[in-house]
């Protein structure tokens, strides 16, 4: 058998902020509809109960005001580098996926100069000028896309090691008067990939990405607060939730199926689906439709680990975070063993979808 270069995960890390924000903390919130019509605060308990039923989110984590997205990313990166047991000077790439940069909690001003990747590289103390650091905005699928790009570089011989980070502080771009504000969270996750020459079919076996912009680019966007008397000069994250749900359920299973077919892997071979943690019901619907394509009636509970109930939706950070937690044995009922086949998948702003398949060495 001929040897080939594959990209393998050799280290992971994540940051889960300590501040817990429970659903009960939204009971006295003043919510408004997109047209500015107020919702009766007396209905908040019913609204929150429905929100929990649909999304599965009972609480989320928010970062302290003095901690930025790049701070979270740097901590997750240091953890991943330590786990990989490598000298950070040997990294050829630092790729940081995010959507909003470092956000001022008071004004909402977005700071992306220098890039978050440059800030992470600086905080890791990397002197090596050949270590290329750049940011990747790709919606919630940004971290998976960063891994796909890193894999391409490594397999092409354009480096040996890459650090891929997903970090976000969504709590600072949400409209407190929009019901969707209950979805979002903060966090960071990181991995170190290494190019390894091997005869065995291990590492990243295949990937696929898709963007549907013409009809779907505006499903997630920035807009003013729903509160009519709020300042008009500050923009917040807005979403057409029902349409995003429908798009995800309709497209993600197809992208995963096509990716597996191209990689020569069947769904029967897959041990775990590490999906973006956006909505529990959406993820369950995606898994159900995906299984149906392979004639599988149901899957073991261990196939799709979920963190959304306690951590909320931290965008690009969700997939690397759940991967790190499972890999470290911190999610009961879930583990990763040698030979396991993992599928990583995400969907989000753009609208973008991606997936990759990985066989553990």
Q: Using omega within 30 degrees of 0 as the cis cutoff, is the peptide bond preceding 331 cis? A: no
171, 246, 329 from 307: Cα distances, Å: 17, 21, 14
**Which three-class secondary structure state does DSSP give residue 70?**
helix
Q: Catalytic residue among 98, 177, 216, 276, which?
A: 276
> Is 334 a known active-site residue?
no
Q: Catalytic residue among 44, 99, 313, 352, which?
A: 313
Tell me how far apart the alpha carbons of residues 265 and 204 are, in angstroms, rounded to a whole number: 12
Angle of CA points 100, 259, 195, to nearest 5°: 70
Please spell the DSSP secondary structure of 71-134, one letter per residue. HHHHHHHHHHHHHHT--GGG-SEEEEE-SS-EE-TTT--EE-SS-HHHHHHHHTT---TTSEEE
Burial of 129 (0-12, 13-18, 19+ CB in 10 A): exposed
What are the strands, taking DSSP E only, across the chain?
4-15, 19-22, 59-62, 93-97, 102-103, 110-111, 132-136, 161-169, 186-198, 203-211, 220-223, 236-239, 272-275, 341-348, 352-359
Q: Catalytic residue among 140, 177, 207, 352, which?
A: 140
> Is 279 a known active-site residue?
no
Tell me how far apart the alpha carbons of residues 225 and 267 are, in angstroms, rounded to a whole number: 43
The conformational region for residue 59 under phi > 0 = left, psi -120 to 50 = alpha, else beta, is beta
Tell me how far apart the alpha carbons of residues 140 and 115 are, in angstroms, rounded to a whole number: 18
Tell me how far apart the alpha carbons of residues 110 and 237 are, in angstroms, rounded to a whole number: 13
> Is 128 a known active-site residue?
no
Residue 145 CB contacts under 8 Å (≥ 6 apart), including other chains? 97, 136, 138, 209, 352, 354
Tell me how far apart the alpha carbons of residues 216 and 316 are, in angstroms, rounded to a whole number: 19
Active site positions, annotated: 140, 276, 313
């Amino acid at each position: 058998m001929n040897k080939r270069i594959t990209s393998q995960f050799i280290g992971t890390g994540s940051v889960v902020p300590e501040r817990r924000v429970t659903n009960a903390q939204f009971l006295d919130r003043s919510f408004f509809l997109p047209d500015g019509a107020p919702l009766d605060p007396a209905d908040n308990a019913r609204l929150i109960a429905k929100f929990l039923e649909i999304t599965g989110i009972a609480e989320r984590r928010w970062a302290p005001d003095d901690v930025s997205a790049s701070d979270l990313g740097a901590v997750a990166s240091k953890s991943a580098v330590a786990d990989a047991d490598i000298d950070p000077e040997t990294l050829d790439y630092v790729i940081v996926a995010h959507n909003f940069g470092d956000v001022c909690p008071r004004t909402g001003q977005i700071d992306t100069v220098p890039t978050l990747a440059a800030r992470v590289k600086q905080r890791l103390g990397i002197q090596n000028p050949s270590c290329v650091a750049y940011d990747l905005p790709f919606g919630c699928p940004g971290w998976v896309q960063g891994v796909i790009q890193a894999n391409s570089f490594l397999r092409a011989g354009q480096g040996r090691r890459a650090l891929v980070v997903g970090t976000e502080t969504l709590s600072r771009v949400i409209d407190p008067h929009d019901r969707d504000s209950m979805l979002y969270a903060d966090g960071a996750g990181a991995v170190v990939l290494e190019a390894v020459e091997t005869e065995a079919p291990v590492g990243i076996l295949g990937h696929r990405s898709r963007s549907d912009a013409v009809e779907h680019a505006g499903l997630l966007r920035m807009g003013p607060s729903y509160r009519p008397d709020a300042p008009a000069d500050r923009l917040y994250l807005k979403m057409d939730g029902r349409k995003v749900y429908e798009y995800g359920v309709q497209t993600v299973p197809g992208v995963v199926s096509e990716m597996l077919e191209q990689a020569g892997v069947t769904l029967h071979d897959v041990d775990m689906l590490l999906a973006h943690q956006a909505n529990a019901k959406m993820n369950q619907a995606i898994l159900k439709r995906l299984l149906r394509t392979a004639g599988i009636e149901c899957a073991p509970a261990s196939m799709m680990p979920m963190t959304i109930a306690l951590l909320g939706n931290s965008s690009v950070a969700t997939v690397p975070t759940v991967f790190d937690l499972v890999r470290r044995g911190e999610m009961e009922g879930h583990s990763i063993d040698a030979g396991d086949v993992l599928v990583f998948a995400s969907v989000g702003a753009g609208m973008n979808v991606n997936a990759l398949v990985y066989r553990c060495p």
